[in-house]
Amino acid sequence: MANSRQSKKRARQNDARFAVNKARRSRIRTFLRKVEEAIETGDKEAASAALKAAQPELMRGVTKGVYHKNTAARKVSRLSARIRSLG
């Protein structure tokens, strides 16, 4: 348990950042799920449109420190490869 004033404030800040990051991760996962669903239906146009919408969200997650740069790049690369293979 936090004892000093500084560590109590730090704990509050950590809780706030955790909530923000959790919401951001959830939002990104929603975008990625839409891409996955479009791929499963086999609709190439819808899948590429969903990926176009998901890509900025993923990269925003990178700049905010939620995801690592290579993780986001890997996800985009694998999804786009799966979309290309639909055609």
Return the CATH number at 46.
1.20.58.110
| Cβ contacts of 80 within 8 Å, gap of 6 or more | 51
Query: Domain tally for the chain?
Result: 1
- Residue 18, both tokens: 């955790």
Structural domain span for residue 19: 5-84
> pLDDT tens digits, residue range 3-49?
999 999 999 999 999 999 999 999 999 999 999 999 999 999 999 99
Is the pLDDT at 87 greater than 80? The verdict is no
